[in-house]
Amino acid sequence: MDSRSAPSSPKLPHAKLGYVGCKSKELGIDKDLILKADILDLKMQLDKQLAKAAVFKKSEIEEEWEIDLSKLDIKSVIAYGTHGIVYKGVYNGRDVAVKVLDWGEDGLHTTAEILALRKDFSRAVEVWQKLDHPNVTKFIGASMGTSELNIPSDEGKTCLRDGSCCVVVEYVPGGTLKKYLIENIKKKLSLRTVVKISLELARGLSYLHSKKIVHRDVKTENMLLDANGTLKIADFGVARVEAKNPKDMTGKTGSPSYMAPEVIDGKPYDRKCDVYSFAICLWEIYCCEMPYFDHDFVKDFAKLSSAVVHKNLRPSIPKCCPSSLANIMKKCWNVNPEMRPQMVDVVNMLEAIDTSKGGGMLPEDKAAIGCFFLQRPRGP
């Protein structure tokens, strides 16, 4: 080997531009080798930045659902969700809700993972923009980039990073169904109101299923009430088009108290997982209580999930609940997905219920004489 050659495996510091001017002779390192390392490092950094820019760049080909962010004015925070922050805003003079997603904010996602999430977001938007039903929130538009979007903060207006996306939908002023049920936890709801709300949810889900869309996160927190009390299904953050082969749909998606056993267990599932979740919502609408509130492990998701899957645990149906409603709950939360009815059939069953004779949950001050006890007095 030529004595002038560089050592066979020198331990180089991180190559930085300008390092060539260091005491390379004292280190016994060839300047040419350092320069090559500099160029290689620069190229790697450049490639990395270009790849990142490609992921976060707003599409040059405008999609029909792309909105003009200059016309969107963000006002205030409505809610903090699992998949992003929801703001109230104004778009073209119309009150809207804006959900902003920033997958890169926590620093936990790789560039490839963020790219996959953005593709999923784009697919969800493609689905949502085609929906038109009175019980589904109306889609207005979306943007694959939000660098031009100003978000209010304590310091004034701040811009989001290019990696963020946002979806804009109609603003529904009545709040969530969950909030409405909590407000009525003591006085409960009449059977007429229970059936009305449940029917609107069932009709909305039936419509989604007719379009081969599985919501996958059906819960009262994702249902909104407008100024007239009409229910609208919201939050399509994890919704997807139903796979032709059920085996292609797996993974735990949703909220533990509402998740179907097959979803919890990681088995393939289809639209029937929404039917199960609907049953839990139906129980909650009738009782105005949190599912499994009477169990010690209600906040221990691992124990709750195990009991649902392995012990067939379900919420306790009150004794005062009309059999017509109780039967719908039992059919919809059947452990076997194939035995659960389609949502269109649930709509028919709910429409057949006679609400003229009452049968709602008894108010809290009268609950000691019935409902979760042995007697069967009827509420309003």
95 beta partners: 90
Q: Provide CB contacts within 8 A for 115, sequence distance 6+.
A: 55
- Expressed in angstroms, the distance from the first to the final Cα of the chain is 97
Phi, psi of 47 (to 5 degrees): -60, -40
Q: Which of 30, 102, 106, 217 is catalytic?
A: 217
- CB-based burial of residue 71 (10 Å sphere; 0-12 exposed, 13-18 middle, 19+ buried)? exposed
Q: Which two tokens stand for residue 101?
A: 């997603």
Rounded to an integer, what is the distance from CA 52 to the centroid of its chain?
Answer: 25
Q: Which two tokens stand for residue 328?
A: 């719908």
Catalytic annotation on 120?
A: no
Q: How many CB atoms lie within 10 A of CB 264?
A: 20
CB 240 within 8 A of CB 124: yes
CB 189 within 8 A of CB 361: yes
Q: Mind telling me the catalytic residues?
A: 217
